[in-house]
Amino acid sequence: QCPAASLHSTCKGKDKVPTLAFEVDCSHSKKIMHVSQYFWGTINDKTISRVDPVFEKMNREDSVIKRMRWTSWDREGSVQRHQGGYFICDGGYHKWSTLMPPYKHQLPVSALEAWSKHVETVRKDG
């Protein structure tokens, strides 16, 4: 619950009403993997990610995410092997290798625009 003295500044986010924010991480199959403590609505994603333990764990060199192996295919259909997992997020986070936001600026009708729209769709799928 937001302290009464703070209602006018600390707890009011972009919607101008007292709000709470949570970091919720889920798997590709929509299983909730982690829910953070609550944060007041004025706290942004970059600040939350600095204090939420899940971000500290995923950025450690010995984390499971850094050891994950996966494959993708390039435009010619060749298999590309990769190591290191990532979290899809919006553009309000740090530029960490474990976070994958859509591109902020891209040319209309370009491959980057299509990819960014796809990432946004996957992130908001729920």
CB 98, CB 56: distance < 8 Å? no
Our measurement of the distance from residue 29's CA atom to the centroid of its chain's CA atoms, rounded to an integer in Å, reads 16
Q: Quickly count: other Cβ atoms within 10 Å of residue 56's Cβ.
A: 12
| Model confidence, pTM | 0.68
For the segment 60-85, what is each residue's pLDDT rounded down to a tens digit?
888 888 888 989 899 899 999 999 88
Cα 102 to Cα 37, 80, 115, 119: the distances in Å are: 26, 21, 7, 6
pLDDT tens-place string over residues 1-31: 555 555 556 677 677 788 888 988 888 788 8
